[in-house]
Amino acid sequence: MKLNYALTLADWKAAIQLHSRQKTGRRIQFFINDFVIPTIAVLALGYLIYANSNGQTDVVDGLAMPVTALVGIAVLLPIVRNYRIRKGFRGMFPPSKGGPGYSLDIDDECIHSTRPGIGEAKYYWEGICAIARNKKIILLYISEILFLGIPIRVLSPEQRVELESLIAQHVPKRKP
């Protein structure tokens, strides 16, 4: 099977999101950053407003700076994450004459990956240690943190069935 496609920022975001859900530690980190810190910031800000309205100036004076810092962190975390994802995408997939495209030749022996103007690599099925998939992307793990992403949108139904059968034959049933 031969695939030619360009990986988009949306594909990269889907891959990062799927990758972040594969380990408990990553899930906890994202839960803390996405839910715990913003919740504590909103509650602390609400308490600060309540204390200020009740004339508790000593509480307001003591908590104003930490609550401001916490709210700033809660606002900056998603902005910084989005910036890092975009910067990582530009670093991993720099513009080239051929574009940010991939050419994958997948057979029963190996996966031959070519990026025109950048380089090429050959991954034997024995080297694929795990797989993760969702409705948007399939990640073939080369190591615990390195993966080859194949967007579902570029696969025809026949290619998807063929890829799934190759994966079922060659990849162990472990998570990355």
- How does pLDDT run across 7-59, given as a tens digit for each residue? 888 999 999 999 988 889 988 998 999 899 999 999 999 999 998 898 888 88
Q: Which amino acid is at 123?
A: Y
Do residues 26 and 20 touch, judged by C-beta distance below 8 A? yes
Is 2.40.10.10 the CATH number for 2-8+96-170? no
Find where tokens 């793990």 sit.
Answer: 141
Domain segments of the chain: what residues? 2-8+96-170, 12-92
* H or E element at residue 43: helix 37-53
pTM for this entry: 0.78
Alpha-carbon distance 16 to 99, whole Å? 21
Convert the pLDDT of each residue in 104-151 to its tens digit: 899 999 999 988 777 889 999 999 988 999 999 999 999 888 999 999
